[in-house]
């Protein structure tokens, strides 16, 4: 970065960096720093009776504030667990009459955001705050860019940075200055670990399947396209891992699952991101009724593990994850919220319903997509508490087994929570002839201009022809589920690094002097 584009603070910090180097202090030492304790553990376990156990501790982290008192100072040290107050005295850092370490390094060359390591003992101040009395301190990394200012008082954060442009583009700084952000991502990991624990305990096997696929199968979605140089053929980033997991059921596994990073080249809003995480699992000799029961148990456990109970606050609502969940057919849901029975309607009649309810639809889409648009536009937002929407029309579900008792329907459910789809599940179609016909219908929709219609995966058809046992499968939107369990309003708030337009910088051609 050219100095002409640096702020005054950035210039000053670089001058301090140079001064440290002139003094023979390495601002970025390579040596190991042996941390013995973390901030929150010290504050949680220290007592006046246990002070002998804390007569020598070493901590490391960022300096987040300094309160100078002349020959002494209090500062806030933030490590990966939280913050703790440290107390620094000139006398302790003066060696053989040389007070340079305190007078110059500490008071003049140290900045908010710098990483230091400290060694000392734990004590309680007159105000009752557990603190570390520093006997030695070491520079571990100089911060050349000032952090945004955040005020704190009585354990609460004020003026926290809320600008999405800053938060999502500079997540590393957001994590430093907004403690609650880090907690969101800790809970996200707890969620994934809870689900993984449930599946492993019930005998499921975790597997990996390809991200680069020659056929973007398993979902009706618009794919990202790339090129494989070595093979000299186009490839797609996966829109789903479903067809690969079902190949494994064909191969003899009874229960497989994968946390899958998927990519769909579609719109972005508060519940959609083009790169997202899905959990899919498939179980042989089961059906969608069994899957509903398992889903209830899995989500009930996840809610308890992440939040401590089955009732979760989401915005101004309280959502209960206690089993069992409500169940209603998609046709009954549409009738309940529109007053229209669409179960016997053809494509023309469905378009009239869309027009009546002011639902914009693409003229190229077919009957299944029209029903989906009606449900999405007029029904799904009503389902706040966990609800299984069941028994979809066959046109909406090209990978699903036909209903055993209801002609024209398939054995499928979507789980709706807080007005959004969280999971999608089927009794899987295992008839290869029926599957081929469904794929061919998707091709006809594609030819009409439906950019989200499925491709034909001939290898998957070949796998089915070897025989796949009755199987139930499900896909969970991990990001949306995480939004619910962490009370976050946007999917970008549960993704560490959401996609954004490339950042405009002073190096752009239009800003160049050449």
Angle at 86 between CA 81 and CA 89, to 5 degrees: 160
User: In percent, how much of the chain has pLDDT > 70?
Assistant: 95
pLDDT of residue 504: 76
Query: Nearest Cα to 145, choosing from 122, 119, 168, 166?
Result: 166
SS3 of 94, please? Answer: coil
Q: Over 60: is that where the pLDDT of 157 sits?
A: no
Q: Over 50: is that where the pLDDT of 514 sits?
A: no
pLDDT tens figures, 450-488: 776 778 889 999 999 999 999 999 999 999 999 999 999
Burial 22-37 (b: 16+ CB within 10 A, else e): eeebebeeeeeeeeeb
| Cis status of the peptide bond prior to 324, with omega within 30 of 0 | yes
Q: Over 50: is that where the pLDDT of 499 sits?
A: yes
Helix ranges (H only) for 308-346 are 330-338
- Average of per-residue pLDDT across 152-166: 65
Bridge partners of 416, per DSSP, are 387, 421
In order of their start, the domains of the chain are 3-147 (2.40.50.140), 180-325+385-494 (3.30.930.10)
Bridge partners of 132, per DSSP, are 86, 122
Of 92-96, 186-190, 487-491, 509-513, which gets the smallest average pLDDT? 509-513
CA distances from 272 to 231, 480, 481, 499, 501 (A): 32, 9, 13, 11, 16
pLDDT of residue 210: 96
Q: Over 80: is that where the pLDDT of 129 sits?
A: yes
pTM over 0.75: yes
Query: Nearest Cα to 166, choosing from 188, 149, 151, 186?
Result: 149
pLDDT of residue 236: 95
Q: Over 70: is that where the pLDDT of 161 sits?
A: no
Q: How confident is the model at residue 149 (pLDDT cuts 50, 70, 90)?
A: confident
pLDDT of residue 513: 40
pLDDT of residue 150: 65
Q: How confident is the model at residue 425 (pLDDT cuts 50, 70, 90)?
A: very high
Using the structure block, give the residue that is written with the tokens 């009585």: 154
Q: Across the chain, what does the average pLDDT equal?
A: 92
User: In percent, how much of the chain has pLDDT > 90?
Assistant: 81
**CB-based contact 460:218 (threshold 8 Å):** no
Tokens, residue 168? 């999502």
**CB-based contact 138:29 (threshold 8 Å):** yes
Task: List the helix and strand counts (H, then E) for the chain.
Answer: 15, 20
Q: Over 90: is that where the pLDDT of 375 sits?
A: yes
Q: Over 80: is that where the pLDDT of 396 sits?
A: yes
SS3 of 153, please? Answer: strand
Q: How confident is the model at residue 512 (pLDDT cuts 50, 70, 90)?
A: very low
**CB-based contact 198:279 (threshold 8 Å):** no
CA distances from 276 to 237, 259, 261, 413, 493 (A): 12, 10, 6, 21, 13
Q: How confident is the model at residue 4 (pLDDT cuts 50, 70, 90)?
A: low
pLDDT of residue 374: 95
Question: Across 135-144, 220-229, 397-406, which has the greatest mean pLDDT?
Answer: 135-144
Q: How confident is the model at residue 163 (pLDDT cuts 50, 70, 90)?
A: confident
**CB-based contact 242:217 (threshold 8 Å):** yes
- Average of per-residue pLDDT across 338-363: 93
Using CA atoms, how far apart are residues 253 and 244, in angstroms rounded to an integer? 12
Query: Nearest Cα to 411, choosing from 329, 489, 514, 341?
Result: 329
Using CA atoms, how far apart are residues 396 and 424, in angstroms rounded to an integer? 12
**CB-based contact 366:347 (threshold 8 Å):** yes
Of the two residues 387 and 457, the one the predictor is more confident about is: 387
Bridge partners of 477, per DSSP, are 278
pLDDT tens figures, 191-227: 999 999 999 999 999 999 999 999 888 887 889 999 9
pLDDT of residue 339: 94
């Amino acid at each position: 970065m050219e100095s002409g584009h640096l702020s005054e603070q950035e210039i000053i910090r670089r001058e301090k960096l140079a001064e440290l180097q002139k003094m023979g202090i390495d601002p970025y030492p390579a040596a190991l720093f042996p941390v013995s304790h973390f901030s929150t553990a010290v504050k949680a376990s220290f007592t006046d009776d246990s002070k002998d156990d804390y007569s020598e501790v070493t901590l490391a982290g960022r300096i987040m504030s300094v309160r100078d008192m002349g020959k002494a100072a209090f500062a806030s040290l933030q490590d990966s667990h939280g913050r703790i107050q440290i107390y620094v005295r000139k006398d302790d850092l003066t060696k053989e009459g040389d007070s340079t370490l305190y007078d110059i390094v500490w008071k003049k060359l140290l900045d908010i955001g710098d990483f230091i390591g400290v060694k000392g003992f734990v004590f309680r101040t007159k105000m009752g705050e557990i603190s570390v009395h520093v006997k030695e301190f070491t520079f571990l990394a100089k911060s050349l860019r000032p952090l945004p200012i955040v005020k704190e008082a009585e354990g609460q954060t004020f003026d926290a940075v809320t600008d999405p442009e800053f938060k999502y583009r500079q997540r590393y700084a957001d994590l430093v200055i907004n403690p609650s952000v880090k907690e969101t991502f800790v809970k996200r990991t707890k969620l994934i670990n809870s689900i993984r624990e449930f599946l492993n305990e019930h005998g499921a096997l975790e597997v990996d399947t390809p991200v680069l696929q020659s056929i973007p199968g398993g979902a009706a979605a618009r794919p990202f396209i790339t090129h494989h140089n070595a093979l000299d053929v186009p490839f797609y980033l996966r829109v789903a891992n479903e067809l690969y997991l079902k190949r494994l059921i064909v191969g003899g596994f009874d229960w497989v699952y994968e946390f899958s990073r998927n990519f769909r080249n579609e719109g972005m809003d508060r519940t959609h991101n083009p790169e997202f995480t899905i959990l899919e699992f498939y179980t042989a000799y089961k059906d969608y009724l069994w899957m509903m029961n398992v889903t209830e148990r899995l989500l009930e456990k996840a809610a308890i593990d992440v939040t401590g109970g089955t009732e979760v606050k989401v915005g101004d609502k309280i959502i209960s994850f206690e089993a069992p969940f409500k169940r209603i057919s998609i046709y009954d849901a549409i009738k309940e919220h529109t007053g229209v029975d669409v179960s016997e309607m053809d494509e023309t009649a469905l378009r009239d319903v869309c027009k009546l309810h002011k639902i914009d639809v693409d003229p190229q889409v077919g009957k299944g997509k029209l029903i989906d648009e009606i449900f999405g536009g007029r029904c799904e937002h009503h389902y706040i508490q966990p609800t299984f929407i069941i028994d979809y029309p066959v046109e909406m579900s090209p990978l699903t087994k036909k209903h055993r008792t209801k002609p024209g329907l398939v054995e499928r459910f979507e789980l709706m929570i807080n007005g959004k789809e969280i999971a999608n599940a089927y009794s899987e179609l295992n008839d290869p002839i029926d599957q081929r016909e469904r794929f061919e219908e998707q091709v006809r929709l594609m030819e009409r201009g439906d950019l989200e219609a499925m491709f034909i995966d001939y290898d998957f058809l070949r796998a089915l022809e070897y025989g796949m046992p009755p199987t139930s499968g499900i896909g969970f939107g991990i990001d949306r589920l995480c939004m619910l369990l962490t009370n976050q309003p946007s999917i970008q708030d549960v993704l560490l690094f959401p996609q954004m337009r490339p950042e405009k910088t002073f190096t752009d051609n239009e800003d160049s002097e050449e």
